[in-house]
Structure 1
Amino acid sequence: MLVVVGGHSRNIGKTGLAAGLIRRTRGMKWTALKITQYGNAVCSRHTVESTCGCEPGNGEEFALDEEFEANDTDSGRFLGAGAERSFWLRVPAGELPRAAGLVRKILAQGENVIVESNSVVELVQPDVFLMILDFSCEDFKPSSLRFMDRADGFVVIDRGINAPLWAEVAQGMWDGKPQFLVTPPRYATTEIVDFVKSKAAERA
């Protein structure tokens, strides 16, 4: 089974949701993958004046690291939540298709894989694609808008408002699909877990 967790902006809770799903479905023995696209105006810590530290060394464009210890990094959090294996793939912004071979190699590592990324859905067809929405956050990543119609359900952060601050996204893109209201830091609610399990049952 392949589960993809995306979100319309940075630092919106994608890792929290993925880790929560892993923790509450440990029996599925997840392989976890976080994909980071680095470059100016893509990573929140990468600017004209400074880099974010995501770039691979030795002149390489792509880097794939496996995490072996539970720690405070995102890939380490996946292990701490109960993932069997956890990987971090870094690629230049807009170049994920060129790393398709690496992505498929990771997906072949386990029967159940959870990926934190929006853009990965241009390479693979997930069994479940959940996208996090925060109506109080005005930023809307182009990759999120591009793949929004592919989402199976939306995880909506409860901010006490009913209408989003972003106006350029048609309401019909999310209104007709399942929505799950969550309050951070509790992202993986029973309703979301049941939704993922139901998709797993359909696949079986």
Structure 2
Amino acid sequence: MKHPLLIGIGGAHSGAGKTTLAVAILRYFKTHPPIYPFTHSPKYGAIKYTKTAFYTSIIDDKNILYQKDKDTRRLFDAGAEEVLWVQSPANEINNVMPIAIGRLSHLDCIIIEGNSAIEFLEPDVVVFITNVSNKNIKPSASRVLKQADIVIEKRPLHYSSKNIHELIGCIEMIVRKKEIESILKTRSNEGMITCSDARKIAEELGVHYKEIGKVANKLKIKIKNCELGCF
């Protein structure tokens, strides 16, 4: 898994509810036990990206970010320890976003808000809010929709604790699955991995042996020299 963990929140249009969802997730993180893969109390941050016509900036001045009714203020109030407001034209995002991520690299998890930022960064988990027919989504948002791991088709007026608990459960499952995929690809050789190596992966990640077997099957990686029918 990349460090820090990146969670992207995109939307079909302006006002889709990206900040509202980011706030709900941050509040959950600050009031509940650490999610997978963290074993300690993680530090969370957030980046809000806004596309501009000409200028590029990374704003970290709290006199600006803390202004009343600003989305960045809401992110701080929800529990983000650090927040950056990144602004740039589309053709400058490849220069500015790595700098922004670098400034927050000491944190454990960063919430990324904004379609263009998600498309460039390819976060570990992408949540996309539609609220409209897919036919009405502009091309740039459609590309992010294709990246999405989780799609919220109709945003509620208020995210209940049950809504967010279920969403966080999905995020944990996706992070775990992608980490298993990454390790299996790295440690397999010519589409095969030994049973003992597969068991080591399960024990390292604290997951059931059969979970490794399911992901290996999906990747068409064969587990050889299998012992005791673990997989």
TM-score (norm 1): 0.68
Residues 68-104 of structure 1 deviation map (CA, whole Å, 9 limit, x = unaligned): 3474211110000011111100112443223243233
CA RMSD across the alignment: 2.5
Residues 142-165 of structure 1 deviation map (CA, whole Å, 9 limit, x = unaligned): 2211222111010121xxxxxxxx
Look up the equivalent residue of 1:133 and give its one-letter code.
Answer: T
Asked if 1 retains the 8 angstrom alpha-carbon contact of 2:82 and 2:104, the reply is: no
Given candidates 52, 69, 88, the residue that maps to 1:91 is 88
Is 2:198 aligned against 1:184?
no
Look up the equivalent residue of 2:21 and give its one-letter code.
Answer: L
- Aligned equivalents of 1:150 and 1:119: distance in 2? 12
Look up the equivalent residue of 1:9 and give its one-letter code.
Answer: H
Query: Gaps spanning 5+ residues in structure 2: where?
Result: 31-40, 180-204, 206-231
Partner of 1:114: 111
Partner of 2:43: 29
Count residues with an aligned counterpart: 160
Given candidates 98, 102, 106, the residue that maps to 1:105 is 102
Taking the TM superposition and a 5 Å limit, the aligned residue runs for 1:148-167 are 148-157=145-154
- Aligned equivalents of 1:100 and 1:135: distance in 2? 28
Partner of 1:131: 128
Q: Which moved more, 1:108-117 or 1:90-99?
A: 90-99
- Aligned equivalents of 1:80 and 1:132: distance in 2? 22
Higher RCO (CA-CA < 8 Å; seq separation 6+) = 1
SS state at 1:87 partner: strand
- Aligned equivalents of 1:123 and 1:93: distance in 2? 10
For residue 201 of structure 1, report the CA deviation from its aligned partner. 4.8
SS state at 2:74 partner: helix
Is 2:10 aligned against 1:6?
yes
Counting aligned pairs with the same residue, the percent is 26
Task: Flag the 1:70–1:191 CA change in 2: closer, same or farther, 3 A.
Answer: farther
Asked if 2 retains the 8 angstrom alpha-carbon contact of 1:2 and 1:112, the reply is: yes
SS state at 1:25 partner: helix
Task: Flag the 1:77–1:183 CA change in 2: closer, same or farther, 3 A.
Answer: same
For residue 20 of structure 1, report the CA deviation from its aligned partner. 0.6
For residue 136 of structure 1, report the CA deviation from its aligned partner. 6.5
Is 2:46 aligned against 1:19?
no
SS state at 1:126 partner: coil
| Higher CA-based Rg | 2
Look up the equivalent residue of 2:110 and give its one-letter code.
Answer: V
Partner of 1:64: 58
Which is helix-richer, 1 or 2? 2
Partner of 1:45: none
